[in-house]
Amino acid sequence: MPAVGHFLGAVGGMAQELAVRCLLDQVEVIQGLYGLDLADGWRGRLEERMLEDTDSEML
């Protein structure tokens, strides 16, 4: 099965980047609550593939 980043291309715009970061934050919360076993570095790989601009990091 292809990785999630394969189906989701890079997002454009600050609002979309912030939304993606919020979703990734929620995945981390759910991972902790339910003890999900996600691959090491999953978030960094998705951010690298999906976020073209890192301006949203400054917010």
Predicted local confidence at residue 1, as pLDDT: 39
Predicted local confidence at residue 26, as pLDDT: 97
**Residues 50 and 20 sit within 8 Å (Cβ to Cβ):** yes
pLDDT one-digit tens code per residue, 4-43: 555 455 667 788 888 889 999 999 999 999 999 999 999 9
Predicted local confidence at residue 24, as pLDDT: 95
Q: Which long-range contacts (CB under 8 A, 24 or more apart) does 15-23 make?
A: 17/51, 17/53, 17/55, 17/56, 18/56, 18/59, 20/47, 20/50, 20/51, 21/47, 21/51, 21/56
